[in-house]
Amino acid sequence: MKKIKQLLIFACLLLISLCMNAETCKKNYLTAQGNQLFDADGKEVFLRGVNWFGFETQMGYFHGIWARDHKSMLQQIKDLGFNCIRIPWNNAILTQDISGDINAYGTDPYSGVSPMNEIEATKTKSLEILDIAIQWCQENNMKVILDNHSREPDGYMTEELWYTEKVSHAKWIEDWIFITERYKEYDAVIAMDINNEPHGAYGGGSRWGTGDIKNDWRLAAQECGNAILEVNPDVLIMVEGTEEFEETSYWWGGNLQGARDYPVELTHPEKLVYSPHEYGPTVHMQDWFSSPDFPDNMPGIWEENFNYLHTLNTSPLFFGEFGIKDEGGQDEVWFDKFVAFMGEKGHHWTFWCWNPNSGDTGGLLDDQWQNVVDWKMDKLRPYLVSEIPNCQTSVVIPVDGISVNPDSTTLNVGQNTQITANISPSNASNKNVTWKSSNETVATVNSLGEITAVSIGNATISAITNDGDFTATSNITVTDAITYTLTNTTSGMGTVSHIPAGNTFTDGTIVSLTATAESGYTFKEWTGDVSSNENPTEVVMNTNKVINAVFTILSNGCTNPTSISLTYKQDGAGDYCWVTDEDISYVSSWNLDSLLINGTDFTNTWADEMPAKIDGNYYISYKASFAWSHVEIFGMTKSSTGMKTVTNNSTLSIFPNPSNGIFTVDGIVDANYIKVTSSKGELLYNANVAGMNTYKVNLEKFSTGIYFVTIRYNDDSYVTETIIIK
């Protein structure tokens, strides 16, 4: 009886503990009360974060993860003290594949993780990368605002309305329902910014309060917001302003004057947050920046356009975008005034932006995607606040499959290998697996999937999900116990194999030997125990049954190279092998799979330091998969200018080229703008050049590499030239 009482007491205590854990982990969504935001416990909180863009572009994932580890970037954002991140996205990511590869390579300079983006590199869909980001934010107490930035990739500049020919009004709402359903178990996803910067001037585009669903952004916001709240009644609905209201004009997304007489009415009004955008004169020289009383005129302008909603206790204000590019001048005066204004009022915000490749503002990171721009961070840091916790056990994502890599392999006795289990979906809650070997006398496996070959034979290695519902297998073949050593005296890779397993060798036995070089390499010379130099076929076993093979590889593997003269250029997909005895001054390439010069990697880079010649030659191997792949190999006589004649008979020249980052563009009569983009397509620089004959560009801050200069003329013709920064 005493034992039964003890068990009952233990059961009650366990039940109380479970209830307490459930209570401490209730989902921490936010709610508006007047002009304040409160968490699930009724504590006032403030959202202070950054924008990290990329999902709204053609690339379809965060920009910068070609240079940094995705999760390390998120960790750096959190470590700086930001408690939320605004993620722009376009509707095409719901169906599109990732544009361009994500490669697992290198060591992240911030976290030290190596290789970077190991999981991300296995994904092919944009949503899969977004899933990883959301899961990380859930686990690390980072709140997320999802911003529907455009319907088409990079379409935000031309899309005045919230719908297009491809994405109808109904499809726009349907896509929002899909996103809401996908992340409704994540209280990290705190808000939906349902359309970025609805705009249109002179009575066109998005309006506010017309009563016509074709152009009344207020009615569209209500309909979409309420549809989202039907799926997840806890998430915030963020509604941006328009460009114009009646006769007044302001920043895209910044004019909320219409909300005074035509407020957005949601089924859950406590979930409404108005979200204006605000920028300085670097983005556009507005009239108010030239006023004699600038910057003291700004608080009145802000009050008129949006801050009255705070003053009247109508709604919290979340500034989804504001940013600054350079120190000094009016822009910094405006920025300091605005940041202090937001701090005084207790407004919420996400700085534009994390990315250094924003053409309007630059970013919080430097151009190497590594270090923080200190003077910008110093202006934001005084207003940062504590994190807003997420529920760490509320999200349970079931496993729906498992695979292993590799699915088969051959080992010699005594060798080890690693088999990896991949659980799907990538954000499944329980990724633990159990490993088993069908024949441990042949091969054993430990709890980490590490295989050890024991004796000749075959075994099946199974990876079983924690719940036992899914199993994947890898077939292991173990061959004889003879080992070999292999020394590579030059660059390149190769393997040595011998006759099949199941044979016993005594001293002096002659064993067949096969040499195999990786694709793109050939063996040039053999030494050691091998009986022949050029084509080794057999070797005499030594007393330790070890095959010793020392070889040299022809460094780039051009077996039948085509002779070329410099300067030489190649575009498009293909697999080519060239040879030249001329001296190379520099090489520039982009969008290639591989470019090797005498075994040295020059893939997608600019460089003017060449390796030593081999037998007086450079052997060049080119591999590419895209029509837009390109390489330029220059001889010692460099071209000093880039010259091209366009349809309006203007002659364009860029000099010096290559340059140290400062160069002059000549022949721009009748041009209206100039822009500079990276080889990956990121906009890095733009300027209005109307009425000018020449224009000097300063890209000293940018790293060595290849860039594109585009000039657009008044007749809509344009020309793009390459500029090389060394």
Is 1 inside a domain boundary? no
pLDDT above 50: residue 307: yes
Q: Does 156 share its domain with 104?
A: yes
Q: Which one of 128, 240, 321, 682 is the catalytic residue?
A: 321
Model pLDDT for residues 333-350, shown as the tens digit of each residue: 999 999 999 999 999 999
Q: Does 368 share its domain with 265?
A: yes
> Residue 593: its pLDDT value, please?
86
Is 394 inside a domain boundary? no
CA 302/CA 124 separation, integer angstroms:
44
Query: Which one of 425, 448, 479 terminates a domain?
Result: 479
> Residue 681: its pLDDT value, please?
57
Asked if residues 208 and 245 have their Cβ atoms less than 8 Å apart, the reply is: yes
> Residue 490: its pLDDT value, please?
37
321 is catalytic: yes
CATH number of the domain where residue 475 is located = 2.60.40.1080
Is 259 inside a domain boundary? yes
Angle formed at CA 533 by CA 531 and CA 538, multiple of 5 degrees: 35
23 is catalytic: no
The residue that leads in pLDDT, 268 or 456, is 268
Q: Does 64 share its domain with 186?
A: yes
Model pLDDT for residues 577-603, shown as the tens digit of each residue: 888 999 988 888 877 888 888 778 888
Is 710 inside a domain boundary? yes
pLDDT above 70: residue 407: yes
Q: What is the DSSP secondary structure assignment for residue 305, as one 8-state letter?
A: I
SS percent in the chain: helix, strand, coil, step 5? 20, 35, 50
Whole-number average pLDDT of the chain: 82
Q: Does 438 share its domain with 521?
A: no
Q: Does 236 share its domain with 309?
A: yes
Cα 13 to chain centroid, rounded = 47
Q: What confidence tier does 500 reach under pLDDT thresholds 50, 70, 90?
A: very low
State the pTM of this model. Answer: 0.58
CATH number of the domain where residue 683 is located = 2.60.40.3080
pLDDT above 50: residue 49: yes
pLDDT above 60: residue 4: no
Side chain identity at residue 277, one-letter code: H
Q: Which one of 56, 160, 197, 682 is the catalytic residue?
A: 197
> Residue 480: its pLDDT value, please?
58
The residue that leads in pLDDT, 157 or 556, is 157
Write the DSSP string, 26-90. -----EEETTEEE-TTS-B---EEEE---BTSTT-S-TTTTTS-HHHHHHHHHHTT--EEEEEEE
Range of the domain at 462: 401-479
Q: Does 94 share its domain with 194?
A: yes
Q: What is the mean pLDDT of residues 49-62?
A: 94
Instruction: Give the Å distances, CA to CA, from 577 to 122, 366, 562, 601, 694.
Output: 30, 38, 6, 14, 41
Model pLDDT for residues 608-617, shown as the tens digit of each residue: 788 888 778 8
Q: Does 133 share its domain with 211?
A: yes
Q: Does 496 share its domain with 372?
A: no
Is 434 inside a domain boundary? yes
Q: Does 222 share its domain with 302?
A: yes
Is 390 inside a domain boundary? no
Q: Does 40 share its domain with 171?
A: yes
Query: Which one of 615, 635, 655 terminates a domain?
Result: 635
Domains in the chain, number:
5
Q: What confidence tier does 425 reach under pLDDT thresholds 50, 70, 90?
A: confident
The highest-confidence range among 10-19, 106-115, 419-428, by mean pLDDT, is 106-115
Q: What confidence tier does 19 reach under pLDDT thresholds 50, 70, 90?
A: very low
CA 694/CA 665 separation, integer angstroms:
6
Which of 60-74, 339-353, 479-493 is the least confident region? Answer: 479-493
CA 151/CA 415 separation, integer angstroms:
53
CA 546/CA 548 separation, integer angstroms:
6
Is 391 inside a domain boundary? no
CA 94/CA 333 separation, integer angstroms:
41
pLDDT above 60: residue 514: no
Is 8 inside a domain boundary? no
> Residue 646: its pLDDT value, please?
35
Q: What is the mean pLDDT of residues 296-316?
A: 97
The residue that leads in pLDDT, 337 or 501, is 337
Query: Which one of 450, 479, 508 terminates a domain?
Result: 479
Q: Does 676 share its domain with 566?
A: no
Q: What confidence tier does 301 reach under pLDDT thresholds 50, 70, 90?
A: very high
CATH number of the domain where residue 283 is located = 3.20.20.80
pLDDT above 90: residue 523: no
Q: Does 538 share its domain with 470?
A: no
